[in-house]
Amino acid sequence: MKISKKITLLPLLVIFASCNLFSCKDSSKHNKKEFENTNILSMEDMPNENTKYDTIRTTNITDNYKLISFLKSKLEIADFTFEERESRGGFSYNNCEENRITLIHGDGIREYFARSRRPEKGTKNFYPDFVILVYEFPTNEIASQNGEILEKALNSAGEFCNGKTPEKIVTNGNEIFHLSTRAEMFRTYTEKYGEMIKNYR
């Protein structure tokens, strides 16, 4: 009697498992189709034949070094070195949601590098560092408009369209400041000094 019950239940189990298998496949196809319909690219997908390009031109208007001098003094108090680097020229920003690349050119680009003399708390040889790119424009309004474009690009595709390193864009007056660092553990520094730049008056 027990044997006959097992034999009777076996076909039912096979049918049930088959239904589950097909429903999983259908669900997987549905999810894949939904993802494809979002039209959001990844960093690896750009550029492509449909990518659009924009150019933002910076201009060296005045010697705006008061803010940088203020920032340097704050960093030195915190035991950081701070130096200006030779500009590498143009930069680019991907917007994966709009399939657009914004190029930054002109003579209003400066680059700075900050590095701590002390290792990160709880580590022996991880020294915090970050880079600040400065883009200068003729007016505050132009800087603000361009800052929104760059911030939108950096935030596209879950903030992964331009790489996975921590990034922060802030605007002060007629300048945009782009702070970036190489490791998630150093994000607190780009956030802290980014807010300091943003709120400087």
- State the pLDDT at residue 38: 58
Tokens linked to 102: 């914004």
CA 171 from chain centre, in angstroms, equals 16
- State the pLDDT at residue 91: 94
Q: Domain total for the chain?
A: 2
- State the pLDDT at residue 63: 73
Answer yes or no: do 21 and 80 share one domain. Answer: no
Indicate if the alpha-carbon torsion angle 153, 84, 137, 71 is positive or negative. positive
193 is in which domain, residue-wise? 43-198
Answer yes or no: do 84 and 113 share one domain. Answer: yes
- State the pLDDT at residue 13: 39
Q: Which string of DSSP letters, residue by residue, matches 127-172? A: --EEEEEEEE-SSHHHHHHHHHHHHHHHHHHHHTBTBSS-EEEEEE
Q: What pTM does this model have? A: 0.79
Answer yes or no: do 52 and 25 share one domain. Answer: no
- State the pLDDT at residue 16: 40
CA distance 62 to 49: 39
CA distance 15 to 9: 10
Answer yes or no: do 49 and 32 share one domain. Answer: no
Answer yes or no: do 182 and 86 share one domain. Answer: yes
- State the pLDDT at residue 88: 77
Tokens linked to 149: 């474009």
Answer yes or no: do 135 and 171 share one domain. Answer: yes
CA distance 119 to 156: 32
Answer yes or no: do 191 and 148 share one domain. Answer: yes
Which ranges in 2-54 belong to alpha helices (H)?
A: 2-37
CA distance 35 to 51: 20
- Which residues in the chain show pLDDT less than 70? 1-38
